[in-house]
C-alpha cells in the first residue's frame, strides 16, 4: 500500500463489496469517499419521487458501512471535485462508470481536467457484465437484435469477472470544511406518501445480498415457467438494488451459476441470466444510441397518430380503467413502487395500443413511480412494447388484458390483492366483471360505474383502431 490520497466518487455503486473502483483506491492508500447529487445534466430525467426515497435510505446505509464518513455534496460534479482536490491536496480520483449520455460527457470532461492538472483519474466497470464497446458484430457495428447480442456476442466473450471482496482495510478521510448531511440532499418526501412503501422493502447492500440469497434458495427453481405467474414468488425483485448498485450484476451472475450447479437447475438459471442479459442490452442500446430515451428508433413511428386524452391517461395512472389486471398493476406500482414484469408489459400495451397514448407518457409515469426507474431499462422496454424500438415486439402484438389475467393470475390472488372491490367475484368473471349478471354483481358487492368503473374502451374496437393506425405508417421506411 502506498500513501496516496484518493477521492472515491460513489454514484450508482452504493456498496462496499465488489466495487472495483473502491477496491483499487483502497490498495493505493487513504480514501475520501464522496457522493454528489448532481442532476444538472439530466434535464427531463431528473430522479423521480420514488427513486429519491430509495436513494435517501441507500445512502444512509452506505454511510453507516463507512463509519459515518461519507462526504455529501450537492451541485455540479466537475466544480465540486475540482474544489475538493484543491482544498484537501488529493492525489487521485477514482470512480465507476455510468452510461447515461450526460454522465459520459461529464466523465470525459473530468478526466481531461485531471490530466491537465497532473492528477490521476481512473474509471472502472462496476455496473455491467460486459462493456458496451466490447460486444460488437464481426463488422464492428453494434447488435440490434437481443438474441444475437446475448448468444453470439456476450456468451462468446470472456466470462464476467469474479466478484471482488470488500477491501481488507479502508482508511477514510473527511472533508472537514463540508457540513452537508444526507438530509441536505432533500430526498426524503415532505408528505407521508412514502410510508406505504416502507413495509415492502429493505434497502442497502446487506438487504440486497439477503434478497439475492432468498431468490436463489426459494425462487430460482421453476423460474423459467413461474416468473410469469403474478402470485408466485419466482421473481428476484433485485432491480432497485441493481440500479443503485447495492449489489453488482457480477455477484448475481456468479451466485446464480453456483446455485444452479447445486440444484441442477440449469434451464431456470439460464433464463434468469438471460434477464440480466436484457439489462445489459438496454445499457448497450443507450450507449450506442443515446437518443433512445425520447426518439423512436424506427423513424416511421414519428408519423404515428397518437391521441391526446387526459381522461384516459388519468384513469390509467390511477388504476381505474375498468380492466382488472391493468388496474391491479397500476395500483401495485402506486402502492409499492414496483410492478411485476408481466404486468408492466400488459399495462404498457394497454396504454400504447388500446388507448393510443404516446409511450412517452407511460415512460414518464414509470420514471416517477418506480423505485427501479432506470434510463436504459425504462426507455428500451417502452420502445420494445410500442414496437418503435430496436428488436421490438411487433406492433400488432396487443396484449389482451382479459386473457392475460386469466392465464397468469388464474386464482385471482394478485388481482384481488390490489383491486379488493372485486374480491368476492368468482374467478370466471374476475377479469371481465361486465359479463357477470346483475344478480351476481350485487351478491359480490359490485356496482359497475360506482364501486368499480366500467371499461373505458371496448377491447375489440380499440384493437382495430390500433392496427389501422399501424397500417397507416407501415409503408414508411424504418430507421437504419
- pLDDT category at 190 given cuts 50, 70, 90 is confident
For residue 391, pLDDT over 90 is answered with no
Q: Which of 9, 367, 382, 384 is catalytic?
A: 382
Q: What is the pLDDT of residue 3?
A: 82
Q: What is the pLDDT of residue 264?
A: 66
| Cα distances (angstroms) measured from residue 46 to each of 42, 81, 122 | 5, 21, 26
- pLDDT category at 478 given cuts 50, 70, 90 is very low
Q: How far is CA 236 from the centre of its chain?
A: 13
Other Cβ atoms closer than 10 A to 190: 7
Q: Is 278 a catalytic residue?
A: yes
Nine-digit cell string for 428 = 370466471
Where are the chain's structural domains? 4-126, 128-162+207-288, 299-473
Could you tell me what percent of the chain has a pLDDT over 90?
92
Asked whether 62 and 14 are in contact (CB, 8 A), the reply is yes
Strands 71-74 and 4-10: unpaired
Q: What is the pLDDT of residue 28?
A: 94
Q: Give the model confidence (pLDDT) of 151-164 as tens digits.
A: 999 999 999 999 99
- Helices of type H across 304-393: 310-318, 324-336, 341-349, 359-369, 375-386
> Closest Cα to residue 63, out of 36, 34, 97, 88?
34
Q: What is the pLDDT of residue 395?
A: 77
Q: Is 205 a catalytic residue?
A: no
Asked whether 2 and 143 are in contact (CB, 8 A), the reply is no
Q: Give the model confidence (pLDDT) of 41-73 as tens digits.
A: 999 999 999 999 999 999 999 999 999 999 999
Q: Which of 120, 341, 406, 427 is catalytic?
A: 341
Q: What is the pLDDT of residue 429?
A: 98
Coil/strand/helix, residue 123: strand
Sign of the torsion angle spanned by Cα atoms 326, 331, 334, 339: negative
What does pLDDT average to over the chain?
95
Q: Is 365 a catalytic residue?
A: no
Q: Which CATH number fits domain 4-126: 3.40.50.620, 3.40.50.2000, 3.40.190.10, 3.30.1490.20?
A: 3.40.50.620
Q: Do domains 128-162+207-288 and 299-473 have the same CATH topology?
A: no
State mean pLDDT over 320-324.
Answer: 98
Q: Which of 76, 306, 406, 427 is catalytic?
A: 306
C-alpha–C-alpha distance, residues 229 and 245, integer Å: 27
> Closest Cα to residue 19, out of 292, 341, 247?
247
For residue 431, pLDDT over 60 is answered with yes
State mean pLDDT over 406-412.
Answer: 98
Q: Give the model confidence (pLDDT) of 252-271 as tens digits.
A: 999 999 998 887 668 999 99
Q: Which of 278, 309, 406, 427 is catalytic?
A: 278
For residue 173, pLDDT over 90 is answered with yes
Residues 45-67 as b or e (16 or more Cβ within 10 Å = b): bebbbbbbbbbbbbbbbbbebbe
How many CA atoms lie less than 13 Å away from 170 in the CB half-sphere? 22
Could you tell me what percent of the chain has a pLDDT over 70?
98
Q: What is the pLDDT of residue 392?
A: 72
Other Cβ atoms closer than 10 A to 372: 21
For residue 235, pLDDT over 50 is answered with yes
State mean pLDDT over 116-135.
Answer: 97
Q: Give the model confidence (pLDDT) of 89-109 as tens digits.
A: 999 999 999 999 999 999 999
| Cα distances (angstroms) measured from residue 379 to each of 177, 383, 464 | 40, 6, 26
Domain at 128-162+207-288, CATH class: mainly alpha
State mean pLDDT over 132-145.
Answer: 97
Q: Which of 24, 120, 275, 406 is catalytic?
A: 275
Q: Is 341 a catalytic residue?
A: yes
Q: What is the pLDDT of residue 1?
A: 58
Q: What is the pLDDT of residue 334?
A: 96
For residue 465, pLDDT over 70 is answered with yes
Nine-digit cell string for 179 = 457540513
| Cα distances (angstroms) measured from residue 197 to each of 68, 189, 245, 332, 334 | 25, 12, 20, 10, 9
What DSSP element (H or E) covers 74? strand 71-74
Q: How far is CA 217 from the centre of its chain?
A: 23
- Fold adopted by 299-473: DNA Cyclobutane Dipyrimidine Photolyase, subunit A; domain 3 (1.10.579)
Q: Is 275 a catalytic residue?
A: yes
DSSP code of residue 230:
T
Q: What is the pLDDT of residue 195?
A: 86
Nine-digit cell string for 228 = 410469469
* Bridge partners (DSSP) listed for residue 71: 34
For residue 476, pLDDT over 50 is answered with no
State mean pLDDT over 120-130.
Answer: 98
- pLDDT category at 477 given cuts 50, 70, 90 is very low
For residue 299, pLDDT over 50 is answered with yes
DSSP code of residue 418:
H
Q: pTM above the 0.75 mark?
A: yes
Lowest-confidence region among 64-78, 82-96, 421-435, 463-477: 463-477
Q: Which of 95, 253, 316, 359 is catalytic?
A: 359
Q: Which residue has the cell 472515491?
A: 8
Amino acid at each position: 500500500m502506498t500513501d496516496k490520497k484518493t477521492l472515491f466518487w460513489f454514484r450508482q455503486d452504493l456498496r462496499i463489496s465488489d466495487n472495483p473502483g473502491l477496491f483499487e483506491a483502497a490498495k493505493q492508500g487513504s480514501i475520501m469517499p464522496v457522493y454528489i447529487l448532481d442532476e444538472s445534466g439530466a434535464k427531463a430525467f431528473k430522479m423521480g419521487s420514488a427513486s429519491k426515497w430509495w436513494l435517501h435510505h441507500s445512502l444512509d446505509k452506505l454511510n453507516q458501512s463507512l463509519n459515518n464518513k461519507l462526504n455529501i455534496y450537492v451541485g455540479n460534479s466537475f466544480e465540486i471535485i475540482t474544489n475538493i482536490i484543491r482544498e484537501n491536496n488529493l492525489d487521485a480520483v477514482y470512480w465507476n462508470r455510468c452510461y447515461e449520455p450526460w454522465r459520459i460527457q461529464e466523465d470525459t470532461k473530468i478526466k481531461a481536467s485531471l490530466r491537465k492538472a497532473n492528477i490521476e483519474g481512473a474509471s472502472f466497470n462496476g455496473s455491467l457484465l460486459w462493456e458496451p464497446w466490447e460486444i460488437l458484430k464481426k463488422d464492428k457495428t453494434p447488435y440490434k437484435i437481443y438474441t444475437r447480442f446475448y448468444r453470439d456476442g456476450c456468451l462468446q466473450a470472456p466470462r464476467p469477472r469474479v466478484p471482488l471482496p470488500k477491501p481488507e482495510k479502508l482508511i477514510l478521510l473527511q472533508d472537514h470544511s463540508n457540513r452537508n448531511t444526507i438530509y441536505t440532499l432533500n430526498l426524503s418526501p415532505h408528505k407521508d406518501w412514502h410510508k406505504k412503501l416502507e413495509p415492502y422493502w429493505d434497502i442497502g447492500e446487506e438487504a440486497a445480498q439477503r434478497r439475492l440469497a432468498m431468490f436463489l434458495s426459494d425462487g430460482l427453481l421453476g423460474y423459467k415457467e413461474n416468473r410469469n405467474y403474478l402470485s408466485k414468488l419466482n421473481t428476484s425483485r433485485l432491480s432497485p438494488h441493481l440500479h443503485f448498485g447495492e449489489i453488482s450484476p457480477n455477484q448475481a451472475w456468479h451466485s446464480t451459476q453456483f446455485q444452479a450447479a447445486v440444484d441442477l437447475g440449469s434451464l431456470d438459471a439460464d433464463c434468469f441470466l438471460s434477464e440480466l442479459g436484457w439489462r445489459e442490452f438496454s445499457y448497450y442500446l443507450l450507449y450506442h444510441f443515446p437518443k433512445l430515451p425520447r426518439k423512436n428508433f424506427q423513424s416511421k413511428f414519428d408519423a404515428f397518430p397518437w391521441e391526446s386524452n387526459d381522461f384516459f391517461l388519468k384513469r390509467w395512472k390511477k388504476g381505474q380503467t375498468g380492466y382488472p389486471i391493468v388496474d391491479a398493476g397500476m395500483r401495485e406500482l402506486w402502492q409499492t413502487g414496483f410492478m411485476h414484469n408481466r404486468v408492466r408489459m400488459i399495462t404498457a400495451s394497454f396504454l400504447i395500443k388500446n388507448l393510443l397514448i404516446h409511450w412517452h407518457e407511460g415512460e414518464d409515469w414509470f420514471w416517477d413511480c418506480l423505485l427501479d426507474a432506470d434510463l436504459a431499462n425504462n426507455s428500451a422496454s417502452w420502445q420494445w412494447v410500442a414496437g418503435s424500438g430496436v428488436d421490438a415486439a411487433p406492433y400488432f402484438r396487443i396484449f389482451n388484458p382479459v386473457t392475460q389475467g386469466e392465464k397468469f393470475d388464474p386464482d385471482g390472488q394478485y388481482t384481488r390483492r390490489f383491486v379488493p372491490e372485486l374480491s368476492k367475484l368468482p374467478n370466471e368473471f374476475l377479469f371481465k366483471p361486465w359479463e357477470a349478471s346483475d344478480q351476481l354483481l350485487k351478491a359480490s358487492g359490485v356496482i359497475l360505474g360506482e364501486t368499480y368503473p366500467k371499461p373505458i374502451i371496448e377491447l375489440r374496437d380499440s384493437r382495430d383502431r390500433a392496427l389501422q393506425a399501424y397500417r397507416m405508417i407501415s409503408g414508411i421506411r424504418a430507421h437504419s
